[in-house]
């Protein structure tokens, strides 16, 4: 026995999935921010310990300052991302446009975080193996 879906069944399923994505989409920024915050602070602490104990003569040269500045900036970006989004709902609000605006912001922030974190990580590794 097979079940045949009608056009209305498919349309209602797509509508439900779309509504679910509209509800849960903005919380992705919050969840990613919490994850990025843990990665940023963990990497910052790891390099602080490694650069203190692994390098024969710890100093604040260009690579060390760049590493810590980039990782601190990545931590600040992650902290900003982890703040919940507050949306004021009114009759003039276009939910789809607001969703797109939030998702574009999530993409921009996560891309910026990734680039800044990689810069901090690479400069930290360069300093360790200098």
Q: Report the pLDDT value the prediction gives residue 1, as an integer from 0 to 100.
A: 53
Residue at 20 is within a domain: no
Least confident residue range of 14-23, 62-71, 85-94, 95-104? 14-23
Residue at 60 is within a domain: yes
Residue at 18 is within a domain: no
Residue at 112 is within a domain: yes
Taking the whole predicted model, whether its pTM rises above 0.85 is answered as: no
Residue at 22 is within a domain: no
Diameter of the chain measured on Cα atoms:
76
Q: Report the pLDDT value the prediction gives residue 2, as an integer from 0 to 100.
A: 64
Residue 79 has pLDDT above 80, yes or no: yes
Residue at 46 is within a domain: yes
Number of domains in the chain: 1
Residue at 50 is within a domain: yes
Q: Give the mean pLDDT of the chain.
A: 86
- What is the rounded CA–CA span in Å between residue 11 and residue 33? 34
- Evaluate whether 85 touches 29 at the Cβ level (below 8 Å): yes
57-94 as b/e: b if 16+ CB within 10 A: eeeeeebbebbbebbebbbebbeebbeeeeeeeeeeee
Q: Which domain holds residue 51?
A: 27-128
pLDDT tens across 59-73, in order? 788 999 999 999 999
Least confident residue range of 20-29, 33-42, 92-101? 20-29
């Amino acid at each position: 026995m097979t079940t045949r879906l009608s056009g209305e069944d498919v349309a209602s399923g797509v509508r439900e999935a779309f509504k679910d994505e509209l509800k849960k989409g903005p919380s992705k920024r919050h969840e990613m921010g919490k994850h990025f915050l843990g990665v940023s602070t963990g990497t910052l602490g790891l390099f602080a310990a490694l650069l203190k104990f692994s390098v024969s003569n710890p100093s604040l040269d260009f690579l060390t300052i760049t590493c810590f500045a980039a990782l601190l900036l990545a931590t600040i970006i992650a902290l900003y991302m982890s703040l919940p989004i507050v949306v004021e709902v009114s009759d003039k609000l276009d939910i789809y446009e607001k969703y797109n605006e939030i998702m574009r912001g999530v993409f921009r922030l996560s891309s910026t975080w990734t680039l800044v974190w990689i810069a901090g990580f690479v400069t930290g590794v360069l300093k360790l193996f200098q």
